[in-house]
Structure 1
Amino acid sequence: MPGTRHSYRVSVEWTGNRGLGTLDHAGYGREHTISAAAKPPIAGSSDPTFRGDPARWNPEELLLASISACHKLWYLGLCAKAGIAVLSYRDEAEATMAEDRTGAGRFISAVLRPRITLRAGDDVAAATRLHHDAHAYCFIANSVNFPIECDPVISLG
């Protein structure tokens, strides 16, 4: 509903204290657990470049995953509304972050590369156009300050 506000809550608990806390920059782990309500926890860390655990999700991956998932959810809903049957959808998304000389960084771009299969006979051109609409509606895309491109490949099943 327009004008409605939605609130979200998560807990992020640092689990990387190796006994001396943050006494030494190299001496503590970047591990943390992300949780919300009764959902399964997400094992997080920093990017391995920043002393993180490569087996855990990092904030940069989670941001990109949020962009991709939000776009997909809007796209699927718009296709359903248009009578276009999506049979499969897989996105191989990629983003670029740039660090400056101080060590601060920011995302400068993202590219979504969804590979989609539609029901035989569905309108591929209309399905392709709906990506533009999905991007315009995506809550996450509307919240970031860097460009997001979408390069879909659509086939008929």
Structure 2
Amino acid sequence: MEEQHKYRVVAWWTSGRTGTAKSDSAPNSIHFTAPPEFGGLEGRWTPEDLLLGAVASCFTTTFRVIAEYAKFEYSDLEVEAEGIVRKSDSGYSFSEILLRPTLMISSEQDQGRALGLLRKAKALCMVSRALATAPKLEVRVQVSKLLPVG
């Protein structure tokens, strides 16, 4: 694998309170606005949502790679990301980012290993490592019986 990768997103303001962002790697653009509490519109993605989405999706994909490499089986992973924005002397910024992954596994015996892999995913997620506010982790591992498909 190459040692350097480049990613590019272009964002532009399209009208009054909305903008559009486009990535070279995806065909669809994302319409965004500021949060309503900062004069934006309801019902659109905000930069804050996109940041939390980047952290949650990075954690999810990082865990998938780690679990695959470790030959660890799970039936589902859902990751909730919550951010707290506070005002300081220098302006508004995220003061906390909390990840709540819920991992579904089939055996209680795998819980310890699951926790270790989830912590490893947090440590290796490159989006989280790029942030000044390091995400915190609240893990939930649930046991469920795998149902046969078909």
TM-score (norm 2): 0.86
Displacement of 1:121 after TM fit?
6.0
How far apart, CA to CA, are the structure 2 residues paired with 1:96 and 1:121? Answer: 33
Displacement of 1:132 after TM fit?
1.7
Displacement of 1:92 after TM fit?
2.0
How far apart, CA to CA, are the structure 2 residues paired with 1:72 and 1:35? Answer: 22
1:71-104, Cα deviation, whole Å (9 max, x unpaired) = 11111211122221121111221111112356x2
> Is 1:31 the equivalent of 2:18?
yes
Q: CA RMSD in A?
A: 1.8
Displacement of 1:119 after TM fit?
3.1
Runs of 4+ displaced beyond 2 Å: 119-122
1:154 counterpart (134, 141, 147):
141
Displacement of 1:149 after TM fit?
1.1
- Alignment gaps of 5+ in structure 1: 17-28
| Residue of structure 2 equivalent to 1:105 | 92
| Residue of structure 1 equivalent to 2:104 | 117
Q: Of Structure 1 and Structure 2, which has the larger fraction of its residues in strand?
A: 2
Tell me if structure 2 keeps the 8 A contact 1:110–1:149: yes
* Structure 1 segment 79-94 matched on structure 2, within 5 A: 79-94=67-82
Aligned residues: 143
| Residue of structure 2 equivalent to 1:135 | 122
> Is 1:14 the equivalent of 2:1?
no
How far apart, CA to CA, are the structure 2 residues paired with 1:143 and 1:88? Answer: 27
* Structure 1 segment 52-63 matched on structure 2, within 5 A: 52-63=40-51
1:31-72, Cα deviation, whole Å (9 max, x unpaired) = 001112352111101111111112110001111111111111
How far apart, CA to CA, are the structure 1 residues paired with 2:101 and 2:122? Answer: 13
Percent identity over the alignment?
Answer: 26
- Alignment gaps of 5+ in structure 2: 145-150
